[in-house]
Structure 1
Amino acid sequence: MLVGAGCIMAYQLIRCHTRAADTVQEALNAMLDEAGNCVCCLLTATATPADPETVRAELCKLSRVVYERRKRALCVSDASFSMLDAGRGLEHVILQLYALEGPITPAREVMLRQLQTQLSAFRAFTDKECGTLPLLNRNAFGPLDDAEAEELYRSAAYIREHLLHMADPDKRTAYRPTAQSLSIRLKAALDVSPVRVVYALRVAALLAAFTALVQHFQLPHGKWLLFTLASVSMPYADDVAPKAKKRLIATLLGGAVAWTAFSLLPSPGMRTAVMMLSGYLTSYFSDYRFTFACATVGGLGGAVTGLAGWREIGGMFGVRLGYILLGIAIACVVNRLLFPFMRRTATDQLWKKYAATTALLSELCRQPGVDVQLYYSLVIQAHLIEQKLLQNASDARYNGMGDLLATCRDRVRRAHRMRSAAGF
């Protein structure tokens, strides 16, 4: 058993590392492909399908990987810094191409074709088809007095530099010390969110109360009630009803499959095979309805041991369905009455946090001797907040969020480019 558990843990660690590397490669390649597509559209005089939000989403994926793989709060490797900067450089190039107006003159064509060549080299590098990147030739981009060519050359050189640093083994183990005090590092590590605190307290109180009731009345299979309470309770009260609906659908679907399968297969071995198959299929679904439907098959499989026939197994399915319905009803009432946190309220608070973070980033870019760990931690935090803001804005129908985000992004981007030009 210990050997098996060790093998599973080792597999998960290896798979987690591989998944992170795959995510980074996919995000960078998606941005490179978008830049290449923009160049092709400009060279063929076809309309450029501008999609800055998709590009931004890929950049946020990189930040998510760095955040999840960081050693600890305010402790990110130089390779991760470079990975983020490579993504930010690609975003800047794509925005430059989106903004390119006017006819494609011979000089512009030379500039764009050279950029196309460099993008192809970057793609080969991220695909590990080559181990290095050649130096860029400024003259190949166009005349030295061409401001447009100079800007694209600088952007391409910036991306090249950070792609090489990203892949440098020494950079992966290099961690610059932070100048922040212990109290600030502890605060960053805790990262207390009001939504999470209220959610944790609510779920803890709910589970403590009903666990005591289940134990007091010795309810058979009472764990199904507790699992439902924990599953249906959500940080935002708005999300409880949709989650409850999915759980009910999953229970009906999985229960119907289990009722049929276990009634037709009285053999313990065949039932075990069905339960193992349902557990295996869980990893192939991302939709909660299907994953919990598989879990329902497994849950009923363990409960009907020693039972046979449509009537007895159907009765057990009815017991599970009753617990699910009761848990849904309780969770809906409690989450609406006990310190409810609405998505729009959380979005307003999150927006204030985002505005403060981006303002601090802009200010840091203008200061000498910036704490690099603090700077990039704020960059990562800003990207993660953006993702949550966009999700909340969509779910809560929060109008005008796109314009507000664009303003803050542009402010940070300008400050960062100024700092980069000064050698940051």
Structure 2
Amino acid sequence: MNIKYIISKTITFIGIVIPIMLFNGIFGDENLLIGVMSVALMLMLLERDLTVHPVKHTLQLVGLNLVMGIAAFIATSNLWLAIPINLVLIFILGHSLLYDLKKPIYMPFILQYLFILFTPITLNQLPKRLLALVVGALIIMLVQILVNRNKLTQAGDKLIEQVIQSLMKKIEDMRKGISDSEDEIAGLLRELRKMISDRRKDELHLTEEARIKLSLSVALEKIALSLEKMDYIDLQKECVEDVYQFLDLAKDVFKDKTKIEQINHLGKNLVSKYDKEKVSDQVAVEMGYNIAFLNDSLQELHMLDKDKYNLVKNVEEVSTRYQCLFNKKYIKIDTVKFSFATRLAIGITLTTFMSQYFNLAQGKWMVFTILALVVPIYEVSKQKSKDRVIATITGGILALILFSIFTDTLTKVILLLLVGYINMYFTRYRYTSILYTTLAIGAASLAGEIQVLTINRIIFVIVGLVMATLINKLILHYNLEDNNNYLIHMYQATIDEMKKEAQFLMEGQASKYSIKNLLIITSMIEDKLLMNNQILEDNQIEVKLDESRALISDIYHFYICKSQAEVYQ
């Protein structure tokens, strides 16, 4: 852990604490947790680029926050109305914010709703609460605009540089006789395509910058795949060294624009050198095509004016086949989304009712445990349940020791800030849960007996754990194998659609946006399958993906080359 990392985390922590304190000062203690969750949502959503449609996303966030605020107020006012309200709202949030291919974002939204639910207010306080929710949504989008408006340019360029450097390292390993896989390169390219996916307008149409960088990603992927086929001897050795020279120039193109002419000159020379009329080695010829593809993409990006980066050219209707496959608006019962949303809605509604009906002061921990442990995939819930118990007991003991020794309010507040700061250095669920437990009990101890709070929390967490286990096992059970089968079917269907688009191009009926979206989707499916495979450990899945990746990049390259040829005819 270096000093820069510590400084970065410290600045981030200060940047979190200050707005929360300001929020508390403006909107009062009863709305403090809205400030906390607004900051949490702000940080989580920074992973996504929402700046393509800033007005649309602002209205969505404001609308969602207002719906949650009003629903929570009605639910706390009437125990029986709370049942249908909680059931419907949690189902909608769980279903709409769990994605087949993207990282889910249901947790902070539902957690915010529960915080509002367990911090009841009077009718006179409702306007201030709704205003706090609106301000929270506006803060999220303001930070999005400040941080993410040039994300694909800044972070995307860095990723492309990393891929090029990884390719150069791969060649350096070939010189030493070291065999290396392209897993790191594939991971970087998937990350780049996630960014590109966020730059789609209406989830379909790519901006000019995103379109070109998608082609760059394919060109780099094809070079990596070609290197896998090459031996470091004779003509192929010479070809590998030529590629290294080209990449060495290309890696600095985003920092030094003056090199673009050198890159273009070298690229054209290499394409001519490895023309199929001059050499018989098919892999070397293939590499020549790949260099041409990469060079053309770099030149096109260089020629694109900055003010046209977010331009979408020739918006056209995307093929109905694509929309039917991947842009479904209806609810299907046999999916992980429906299964999860149903289980979560039942679990939270039931435990919330129990907590309110029996007036359980610490019953909310039962509800929070349901939210943490009712998860989309059954296998994940088993490990999380074990971690949750260990974390609750460990965190409870830690809180009991700390806040029994240090009893004055000021010292407790300082300790809570310190625990929150330390938590920023951990990512594993077990460790973050230990610190969250310490934080929660410590914060509650400011207004109660620490021993009673600790025991009560442990009891309610265990009750919630038992209920979550039963819900995951008995209600619409959905396991990892089901999810993988669904993803593999989607993956094959996507590749088949790419083949059809290539065929339609030959017939003059293709939609250029469909092929680009299909390519992005294959990358996202691969990412999800590889995540699942960390648990399944099925080597055949990785072999299948490697084989398919080569086919996918070939189809896309053919499509781009053919469509460009038709333009210039």
Q: TM-score range by the shorter chain?
A: 0.7 to 0.9
User: Is structure 2 residue 502 aligned with structure 1 residue 374?
Assistant: no
Alignment partner, residue 35 of structure 1: 167
In the alignment, structure 1 residue 350 sits paired with structure 2 residue 487: yes
User: Paired residue for 1:422?
Assistant: 562
Shift of 1:228: 0.5
Structure 1 residue 117 corresponds to structure 2 residue 245: yes
Partner in structure 1 of residue 340 of structure 2 = 199
- 1:210 corresponds, among 327, 351, 375, to 351
TM-score normalised to the size of structure 2? 0.66
CA contact (8 A) 1:93 1:152 kept: yes
1:321-359 deviations in Å (ceiling 9; x for gaps): 111111111100111001100111121121111111111
Q: Distance in 2 between matches of 1:111 and 1:405?
A: 27
Residue 160 of structure 1: aligned partner: 295
What TM-score, normalized to structure 1?
Answer: 0.87
Tell me which residue corresponds to 2:127: none
CA distance in 2, matches of 1:398, 1:143: 39
- The answer for the alignment partner of 1:136 in structure 2 is 265
Q: Is residue 260 of structure 1 aligned with residue 401 of structure 2?
A: yes
Q: How does 1:12-23 map to 2 (within 5 A)?
A: 13-16=145-148, 23=155
Corresponding position: 1:97 with 2:237: no
110-119 or 174-183: bigger deviation: 174-183
Equivalent-residue separation in structure 2 for 1:47 and 1:260 (angstroms): 57
1:405 equivalent to 2:532? Answer: no
Does the 8 Å CA contact 1:233/1:240 hold for their aligned counterparts?
yes
Please say if residues 77 and 174 of structure 1, whose CA atoms lie closer than 8 Å, have aligned partners that are also in contact. Answer: yes
Deviations 1:291-313 (A, max 9, x none): 22222222112211244xxxx42
Q: Which residue of 2 aligns with 1:225?
A: 366
Change (3 A) 1:247 1:64: same
Give the match for residue 459 of structure 2: 322
Counterpart AA for 1:157: A
Whole-Å separation in 2 of the counterparts to 1:372 and 1:206: 45
Q: Distance in 2 between matches of 1:121 and 1:300?
A: 57
Q: Percent identity?
A: 20
Q: How does 1:239-388 map to 2 (within 5 A)?
A: 239-307=380-448, 312-368=449-505, 369-388=509-528
Q: Which of 209, 228, 240 is the matching residue for 1:79?
A: 209
Q: 1:103 to 1:188 in 2, by over 3 A?
A: same
Q: Distance in 2 between matches of 1:151 and 1:182?
A: 34
Q: C-alpha displacement at 1:373, in angstroms?
A: 1.9
Q: Is the 8 A contact 2:190 2:524 kept in 1?
A: yes
Q: Determine if the alignment matches structure 1 residue 174 to structure 2 residue 303.
A: no
- TM-aligned CA distance change 1:162 to 1:324, over 3 Å: same
Deviation at 1:366, TM superposition (A): 2.7
2:450 aligned counterpart, secondary structure: helix
Give the unaligned 5+ runs of structure 2: 1-21, 27-34, 36-135, 565-569
1:39/1:116 contact within 8 Å kept: yes
CA RMSD of aligned residues (A): 2.9
Residue identity matched to 1:159: L
Change in 2 beyond 3 A, CA 1:403/1:140: closer
Structure 2 Cα separation of the partners of residues 104 and 346 of structure 1: 47
Using the TM superposition, give the Cα deviation of residue 164 of structure 1 relative to its aligned residue in structure 2, in angstroms: 4.6
**Greater Cα offset, 164-173 or 319-328:** 164-173
Q: Which moved more, 1:9-18 or 1:291-300?
A: 9-18
SS of 1:292's partner is: helix
Instruction: Tell me by how many angstroms 1:277 deviates.
Output: 2.6
Structure-1 residue corresponding to 2:129: none
Equivalent in the alignment of 2:327: 188
Number of paired residues? 415
CA spacing shift, 1:139–1:378, aligned 2, 3 Å = closer
Task: Return the letter of the residue paired with 2:317.
Answer: A
- Report the alpha carbon displacement of residue 116 of structure 1 after superposing the two structures with TM: 1.8
Consecutive unaligned residues of structure 1, counting only runs of 5 or more, are none
